[in-house]
């Protein structure tokens, strides 16, 4: 690819990051060139974020309807899964699954809630009084 052919399509990340490409200069030697984006890659990224946003909204609705605890929402919001949350909190996966139940969540002590709050980078009050 020639330097002039490196994609410079507009993207959501163009003001945040750039990609490095190797391209030939006019003498045929490889040099590095920064790219703001590529339409095909941008479309894939947009589809992925749409799916993430749907999962977060579904989690919000499950918590609001009383079917899941706020831990479920914040896990989705922070793009985690149970395995990762287990590693960050030190809780077993089966314990975390129990904490997803609103009745169990309401009985958690402040020490356990503080662990979750620290992982999610929120306050214990925000975790307890879910209103996101």
Q: Looking at residue 118, which CATH number applies to its domain?
A: 1.10.260.40
The residues that bridge with 21 in the sheet, in sequence order, are 33
Residue 21 and residue 73 share a domain: no
Structural domain span for residue 13: 3-37
For the chain, the domain total comes to: 2
- Whether 26 and 71 map to the same domain: the answer is no
Flag whether 90 is in a domain.
yes
46 found inside a domain:
no
Query: Residue 17 falls within a domain, yes or no?
Result: yes
**Do 75 and 117 fall into the same domain?**
yes
pTM of the model: 0.77
Residue 96 lies in a domain: yes
The reply to whether 13 falls in a domain is yes
User: Which tens digit of pLDDT belongs to each residue from 16-50?
Assistant: 778 888 888 888 889 888 887 778 888 888 899 99
Same-domain pairing of 68 and 17 = no
Q: Confidence band (pLDDT; 50, 70, 90) for 51?
A: very high
- Give the mean pLDDT of 85-113: 98
For residue 21, being part of any structural domain is answered with yes
Contacting residues for 116 by C-beta, under 8 A, at least 6 apart: 71, 74, 89, 99, 127
- Is there a domain that residue 55 lies in? no
| Domain membership flag for residue 50 | no
C-alpha distances in Å from residue 22, one per residue of 1, 19, 32, 74, 81: 8, 10, 5, 39, 35
């Amino acid at each position: 690819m020639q330097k002039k052919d490196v994609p410079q399509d507009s993207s959501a990340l163009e003001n945040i990051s750039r990609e490095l490409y190797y391209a030939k200069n006019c003498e045929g030697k490889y040099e590095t060139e920064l790219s703001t984006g590529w339409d095909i890659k941008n479309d894939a990224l947009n589809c992925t974020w749409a799916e993430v946003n749907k999962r977060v909204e579904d989690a919000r609705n499950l918590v609001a309807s009383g079917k899941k605890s706020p831990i479920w929402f914040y896990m989705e919001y922070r793009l985690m899964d149970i395995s990762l949350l287990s590693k960050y909190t030190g809780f077993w996966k089966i314990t975390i699954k129990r904490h997803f139940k609103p009745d169990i969540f309401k009985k958690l002590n402040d020490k356990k809630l503080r662990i979750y709050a620290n992982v999610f980078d929120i306050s214990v009050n925000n975790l307890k009084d879910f209103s996101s």
